[in-house]
């Protein structure tokens, strides 16, 4: 078998597997929606906060509870101490005057 035939076979198998994964995801989306709504109701009942993703700095532990200046608490021009600060984005502020 030629190398080009092996390449086409490899690419075809990859495209078939990718399309099967996309079809599976679209079918399982509806089944997972009920589970997600149940978990959201449980979070609301128990009044849980957001997930603690990082353990390094207090402003990366609970992103919704950190203010914008805590990353620069040592000095206004200080650099980021912890690598987890570069993995997260600042939360979008929702305007209260809408």
Neighbours of 59 (CB within 10 A): 21
HEC readout, 28-64? HHHHHHHHHHHHHHHHHHHCCCCCCCCCCCHHHHCHH
Domain edges within the chain: 35-67
Instruction: Kindly report the pTM of this predicted structure.
Output: 0.41
Per-residue pLDDT of the chain (98 residues; tens, 9 = 90+): 889 999 999 999 999 999 999 999 988 888 888 888 888 898 889 887 767 677 776 666 666 666 666 556 666 666 666 777 667 766 666 555 54
d(CA 88, CA 61) in angstroms, rounded, equals 11
């Amino acid at each position: 078998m030629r190398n080009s035939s092996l390449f086409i076979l490899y690419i075809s198998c990859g495209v078939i597997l990718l399309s099967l994964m996309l079809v599976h995801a679209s079918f399982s989306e509806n089944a997972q929606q009920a589970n997600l709504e149940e978990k959201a109701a449980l979070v609301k009942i128990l009044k849980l906060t957001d997930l603690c993703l990082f353990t390094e700095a207090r402003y990366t532990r609970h992103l919704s509870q950190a203010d914008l200046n805590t990353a620069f608490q040592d000095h206004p021009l200080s650099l980021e101490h912890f690598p987890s600060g570069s993995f997260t984005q600042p939360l979008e502020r929702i305007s209260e005057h809408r």
